[in-house]
Every structure is written in structure tokens, then in C-alpha cells.
Amino acid sequence: MDNAAAGEMQSGIKPAKDDRLVYRQSAWTRLTHWVWALALFFLLLTGLQIFNAHPSLYIGKQSGFSFDNSVLSFSAENTPDGPKGYTDIFGHRFDTTGVLGLSGGPDDLHARAFPAWATIPSHQDLATGRVIHFFFAWLLSGTLLIWLIASLINGHLRRDLAPRVADLKRLPGDIADHAKLKFHHSRNYNTLQKLAYGGVLFVLLPLMILTGLAMSPSMNAAVPFLADLFGGRQTARTIHFTIMLLLVAFFIIHMLMILAAGPLNELRSMITGWYRTDPPTSGNEPSARSARS
């Protein structure tokens, strides 16, 4: 065990005399976890506010009336049956009245891509949405960098997140166990956790940050090749939106796994750092698996 981790364990207060309790989450991990949760919440709702200002996504460097490169768009139209909200995906139209394109009460319908309850601010206010969005974007970027440095120093990356050959060999078994809602509680992350967390921390979040910068006019002037790296600002915007959907899907699965594995134990781990493991048995692989996904 490295000195930093040992120091944290010595300074922590074990909640009870229980040999099954292990110190699983460092203070850096817990702090950044909750900051990310807060930041991503505001980024999502302000991002939808910004998207409502131009509710269409394109592939390519340009967009407009002379281009036919839209992959997703939301709109509202008057029809013989009354106003309708529509969602167009790759040329296929769906009636999404009341949720997407056109939402609100029966006597107070509004033509907007995402409804008022899904945006910050609830009313259409692009300027305020952008200010809040950029604040939390920089907060997310800064804490991600701090977490990376701290995790390199205290060994969290090497010890807990880097998949090993043995982990990959256990992957089919981990998938089967999760499908059966059969969870193993131990100090270490299982293979699915390592791959999921690694994908979010080292693929999705960096791509989210880079595509966000690629859409910035000031960054286009300072680093002109960044937008080209993603195929243009419009493609970067589409990638940015897609990553948002993937992060929302990750969050939903993450919450479901926590509820299935034991929410009290999981919450205690992310608040105090202490985690209750399974009782030892002769057939267990104590360092291989855990319950939080």
C-alpha cells in the first residue's frame, strides 16, 4: 500500500469494529465524484437550454438552407388537427407532441425542442444558460485534472482502474453475474466497473471537453485545427450531443446497479470511504470483484 493511501486510512475513523469494512474510496475520489455529479447535472440542463436556441444537429463544417446534412432536428407545425411537435432523425419523422418539439399545458403550448422542466433556466434564456454552462464546464475540467494528478500520486489509477489480464479473463463471468443480479462485494472494482469508469473518465469526458472547445469561436481562432480534428464545428456539436446521451445512459445504469447491489453500502463508501465486503468463504476470489457498477 502506498504512503498516501496509508495516511488516509490512519486518519480515517472506522465506523465500527467490523473486519468486513475496508477503506475503499479516498478523499480525493469522493470529493471529485460529488463535484462531477453536481457539474454534470447543471451541464446537462443548461446544455439543453443552449441546444433549444438551434434545435438541429448536422454532420460537416457548415449548415443552413442550402445544405442537407441534418441528422437530428426538432420542430413544431400547425396541422389540421392542431399544433404538433416533431422529431426528425436521419429523415424519419416522429410525432413527439407534448414532450419534444412542442410542450407545455393544453392551453399553454410552447414550440421548443426540450420542455421547460428539462432546461436551466426553464424559460428560453440563451445568455444565462451559456454563462452557467461554461462555469460548470471549467469546474468539471479543473476537477478532472486534479483527480488525475491525485490518482497518479496515490496509486488509485494503477491499483483500482487499470484492467489487468486476469480482469479480462473474468469479463464473461462478470457479465453473467450482472445479468443475474448476482453481485460480489470486495475492495477492488470488477472488470465491468474498470471498463465503464475508464471509458467515462478517459474517453467520454475528455471528448466532451474537446468538442466543447472545438465549438468555441475564440478557440477556433487560437487553435484552428481543433474543429477540423472533429470534421468541423457542426460535427463537433453532434459528437458533443451524442456523448451527452451516452453519459445519461451511464448514469441510469449506474443508479440501477447501485440500487440492486445495496444503496446504503454504496452511499457510505462514497461519503465516508468505508465499504462493507462479503464475508470470506473458501471459494471466493477476494480481490476480484465488487458490487458497484
- Total number of domains constituting the chain: 2
Same domain, 230 and 251: yes
Report yes or no on 38 lying in a domain.
yes
More confident call, 243 vs 6: 243
Q: What is the pLDDT of residues 13-29, one digit of tens each?
A: 555 566 688 888 888 89
Q: What is the pLDDT of residues 189-222, one digit of tens each?
A: 889 999 999 999 999 999 999 999 999 888 888 8
Q: What is the pLDDT of residues 32-50, one digit of tens each?
A: 999 999 999 999 999 999 9
If pLDDT is split at 50, 70 and 90, which confidence band does 62 have?
low
- Give the integer Cα–Cα distance in Å for 199 and 250: 10
Please report, for residues 85, 133, 223, 279, the alpha-carbon distance to residue 208 in angstroms, rounded to integers and kept in the order given: 29, 13, 17, 41
Report yes or no on 283 lying in a domain.
no
State the average pLDDT for the chain. Answer: 86
Same domain, 87 and 39: no
CATH number at residue 259: 1.20.950.20
Report yes or no on 25 lying in a domain.
yes
- Give φ, ψ of 244 to 5 degrees: -60, -45
Same domain, 175 and 63: no
- The neighbouring-strand residues paired with 82 are 79
Q: What is the pLDDT of residues 256-285, one digit of tens each?
A: 999 998 899 999 999 999 998 888 765 444
Which domain does 128 fall in, by range? 3-54+123-276
Report yes or no on 286 lying in a domain.
no
**DSSP letter for each residue of the chain:** --HHHHHHHHHS--SSS-TTEEE-S-HHHHHHHHHHHHHHHHHHHHHHHHHHTS-EEESSS--STT---EEEEEEEEEETTEEEEEEEETTEEEE-TTTSEEEEETTEEEEESS-GGGSSSSS--HHHHHHHHHHHHHHHHHHHHHHHHHHHHHTHIIIIIS--HHHHHHHHHHHHHHHTT-----SS--HHHHHHHHHIIIIIHHHHHHHHHHT-HHHHHHSTHHHHHTTSHHHHHHHHHHHHHHHHHHHHHHHHHHHHH-HHHHHHHHHTSEEEPPPP-TT--TTT--S--
Same domain, 254 and 151: yes
Same domain, 196 and 60: no
Report yes or no on 289 lying in a domain.
no
- How open is the CA angle 104-105-109, to the nearest 5 degrees? 50
Domain-terminating residue out of 69, 87, 112: 112
Same domain, 174 and 207: yes
Same domain, 219 and 90: no
Q: What is the pLDDT of residues 163-196, one digit of tens each?
A: 999 989 999 998 998 888 888 888 888 899 999 9
Q: What is the pLDDT of residues 97-127, one digit of tens each?
A: 999 999 988 778 899 999 999 999 999 999 9
Domain-terminating residue out of 84, 112, 140: 112
Same domain, 137 and 264: yes
Looking at the chain, the whole-number percentage of residues with pLDDT higher than 90 is 61
